[in-house]
Chains A and B, each alone.
Chain A
């Protein structure tokens, strides 16, 4: 069964360092999402892509976060510099026929 792939699964970094997360959606899914989930809360949308174009990045802290999906397939989310408050689970999802399919996520710890 096709899955959304994310790497790494875990990342520990020190504040002010740069981190990057990678996502490969299910083949053929044009819509891709990046979410941030703080423990005990629901996921919060950071950015939504339709193919290679950003559809919604209104919640993305653009002073430190960037996201790209250059060829409309896989995507990278970057944080530079990381802050203590960025510690969270970062989830990637792709959508087909209205259903969102999630990857296993990257758990980021900023020390």
Chain B
């Protein structure tokens, strides 16, 4: 059964710092992996989608990498800003059944 784990559960950093959020999954048979942002009490906003054949995707200050064989993905945020404060979730879409499994998220707080 696919399990998705995100470490750390919470992170507090000063503004301007570069940071890395980690996501690991137990079954490498995935279709794609998606990173989301969730503000308190709100829905999820898609940040980056990485297909299983890809190694990384970039959007602005965000870069996501995927190492399918080791079951890991990282989200790199450059030059963090207070507006980046939110919960970041990764979601794995399984190959075959196409079910999407979410991690519990990393709650990020960027201090001004």
Contacts from A to B (Cβ < 8 Å): 4, 6, 33, 40-45, 48, 55-56, 89, 91, 93, 98-105, 107
Contacts and interface: CB of A to CB of B under 8 A. Distances in A.
Chain B interface SS verdict (over half): strand
A48 B97 CA distance: 11
Given A41-B104, A91-B44, A105-B42, A56 B49 contact: no
A42 B99 contact: no
B: contact size bracket: 20 to 34
B99 A98 contact: no
Contacts of A107: 41
A101 B46 contact: yes
B44 A43 contact: yes
Interface in B29-69: 31-32, 34, 36, 41-46, 49, 51
B99 A45 contact: yes
Given A42-B105, A99-B49, A33 B43 contact: no
A48 B74 CA distance: 27
A76 to B, nearest CB: 18
12 contacts: A40-B104, A42-B105, A43-B89, A45-B99, A45-B100, A98-B32, A99-B46, A100-B34, A101-B46, A102-B45, A102-B46, A105-B42
Contact of B43 (A42, A48, A55, A103): A103
Nearest to B45: A102
